[in-house]
Structure 1
Amino acid sequence: MTRTAVVICPGRGTYNKPELGYLHQYHADRMSQFHSFDEIRAEAGQETVTALDGAGRFSVGKYSRGDVASPLIYAASLADAQALAKDIEVVAVTGNSMGWYIALAVAGALTPENGFRVVNAMGTLMQKQLIGGQLVYPFVDEEWSNDVARKSALLDAVARINTLKDHTLALSIDLGGMLVLAGNEAGLNAFETANPVVQDRFPLRLANHAAFHTALQAPVAAEGRALLGADLFGQPERPMIDGRGKIWWPGATDTGALWEYTLGHQVTETYDFTHAIQTAAREFAPDLFIVTGPGATLGGAVAQSLTLGNWRGMTDKMSFQSLQEADPFLIAMGRADQRALATG
């Protein structure tokens, strides 16, 4: 019996110390593909993906860099998507932030090698310029109860800070019950000063993250378009859901528009991951939501996005856990206890 699934690709911040060796541990049979990625890195004078993954030591300073994290996450996520059990039919693909580039390859709009070129180029450009930064702050409580008024108040505060002289702040990613904010140092500091610490760790700054999905990234987007031609992009083989909730259909995609979105709007405007997941749920009604590795942190944002959209009557953490325990429908391949549910 076939199981339908929406595949969800992760973004930055998902390859951490526990993930060191992920490619070698789970995908030793795909080394030829990784070696093709290594050749692209070597041509650019960069350390290879297999060497980075096979290193004996992990350091946050190195592995959180865009030019290191991005290619590792791409290789791991794509390989996971290629390793799904034969009874799983992928009905759509989406991703979070950088995960959009991976989704393009998983869906077939980019070849594995061209997807790697896009990810490696953009990760390197982001790191080279490192314009601004990001922080994370929740608007839901620890039980995931939706608080529309609180979200609205926080976004109003962001807009006010953005009007101050020499302050830049904007919503970078709508991430389930979290707001990922991005801006310059003055804007980020102003938000941190004005809002209390909640759940013992927020507001949380993200190491080596630029002000993704804001106008501050316009120079990076322009460089990306100069480096990466529209001829890299083709028709997807599977539907893709972007950071606006728009569906790109096989056989009906304007590949020029896809290139423009990927290296334009997607880089400089808010990425609405919540809407993408809710669109996936409504339009494709899959049996499973499969989050590829590395890491498993994106699973919480997927679950929150579904509860915020009242998917299958879920409204909070408890109702999600009840359905999930009865019949697991959210699978994080980066979790050892869930991986076999997707790989067979």
Structure 2
Amino acid sequence: MKTAAIICPGRGTYNKSELGYLGRHFPDPGLLAQFDALRSAEGQPTLGELDGATRFSMATHTRGDNAAGLIYAATLGDFLSIDRERVKIVAVTGNSMGWYSALACAGAVSALDGFTIANTMGTLMHEAMIGGQVIYPFVGDDWRPDPARKTALLAIVDAIAAKPDHFLSVSIDLGGMLVLAGNEAGLAAFEAAVEPLQGRFPMRLGNHAAFHTELQAPVAAQGRAMLSPALFTQPDLPLIDGRGEIWWPKTVSTDALRDYTLGAQVTESYDFTRAVTVLAREFAPDLFIVTGPGTTLGGAVAQSLILANWRGMTGKEDFKSVQEASPVLASMGLPEQRATISGAGMR
């Protein structure tokens, strides 16, 4: 039996190629119906309607009040599909919104309560829509660590943030990339200050607010007012948060977990790289499983492992060699990798 760490993706992972993902993969129709009943009660389109649409709509499927529920359900469905006779799960983390999914996967909230949290926070962020995000890499195509480049980019961020009426901050430390959040003046200034790369960076993230910054304080306050402390319980599995802190089963203050989830997790920078580093060093899993939807988080996981010098990896070629010899990363959004760990694929 292989040991595995679970990594839950965040916003921006349910896109055109993921349309129909729940219909193809979600293993519990009764649970999905409960999710849809909650959305219907709020006057929102059901996940079944969204996922079963004949055409993907950027305007509809990526907005926070829809994307959060779709991504949470896809992640949880994949988690429930893992063959526990072949895979022993030792810890769970997530990227950004994936923290809400990680809570449910680890048992710190029920599946239904986790959906309530994800759907509520996604809706609140969409309704407020404060600021935006832009993403920019600090490693090259070889994925080799370049701390000097990162330092230079952070200096640009600090200089822009010091200007009157400009807000810019690190939202997510995402492997070899920085996700920055700010107001329009701050984001535009950064886009003008850096060199265009690969024909797509700096890249604005559509329908994304200034997540993980102090600009989200009003949203965090609304979330605390709407989401009861009773939703949280002791986790069954260790949880690694966006600071790299471990929440161990049977030792968690559920009030503290709620305070973090609806406080610092919303308003402070999210260090995904640190979370993956802690996963690797503290739990040494045989396998890192990235649940769906999407496949984009796999690169950030690999880059984070390289930055941690895990198994002596120093760049992309090292990672590819390790992966080819004995896979250490499995993305459930890729059918061939999903088949190696899902119950349906292994029987």
Give me the whole-angstrom Cα distance separating, in 1, the residues matched to 2:252 and 2:115.
Answer: 21
1:82 to 77, 80, 83: 80
Distance, in Å, in 1 between the alignment partners of 2:212 and 2:174 is 13
CA-CA distance at 1:50 after TM superposition: 1.2
15, 28, 31: which one aligns with 1:30: 28
Question: 1:1-344 to 2 correspondence within 5 Å?
Answer: 2-27=1-26, 29-85=27-83, 86-343=85-342, 344=346
Q: What is the aligned length? A: 342
For the residues of structure 1 that align with 2:159 and 2:113, how far apart are their CA atoms? 41
2-structure distance, mates of 1:31, 1:272: 34
Aligned-pair CA distance for 1:160:
1.1
Deviation at 1:80, TM superposition (A): 0.3
Task: Summarize deviations over 1:227-286 as a string: whole Å, max 9, x none.
Answer: 001110000000000000000000000100000000000000000000000000000000
CA distance in 1, matches of 2:110, 2:195: 45
- Contact 2:86 2:341 (8 Å CA) reproduced: no
In structure 1, stretches of 5+ residues that fail to align are: none
Asked whether the 8 Å contact 1:142–1:199 carries over to 2, the reply is no
The residue identity in structure 1 corresponding to 2:248 is W
What is the distance in 2 between the residues matched to 1:186 and 1:284? 42
Per-residue deviation, 1:51: 1.3
CA distance in structure 1 between the partners assigned to 2:236 and 2:56 by the alignment: 37
Deviation at 1:26, TM superposition (A): 1.6
TM-score by length of 2: 0.98
Deviation above 3 Å: which 4+ runs of structure 1? none
The whole-number CA distance in structure 2 between the counterparts of 1:56 and 1:201 is: 28
Q: How far apart, in 2, do the equivalents of 1:329 and 1:157 lie?
A: 35
Q: TM-score, normalized by length of structure 1?
A: 0.99
Contact conserved, 1:239 with 1:247, CA < 8 A, in 2? yes
What is the Cα-based RMSD across aligned positions, in Å?
A: 0.6
Cα deviation, 1:129-163, whole Å, max 9, x if unaligned, reads 10000000000001101110110111111011111
Q: Provide, for residues 92-123 of structure 1, a one-character-per-residue CA deviation record: whole Å limited to 9, x for no partner.
A: 00000000000000000000000000000000
3-state secondary structure, aligned to 2:115: helix
CA distance in 1, matches of 2:198, 2:318: 21
CA positional deviation for 1:289: 0.1
Kept after mapping to 2: 8 A contact 1:176/1:302: yes
Cα distance in 2 for partners of 1:95, 1:172 equals 15
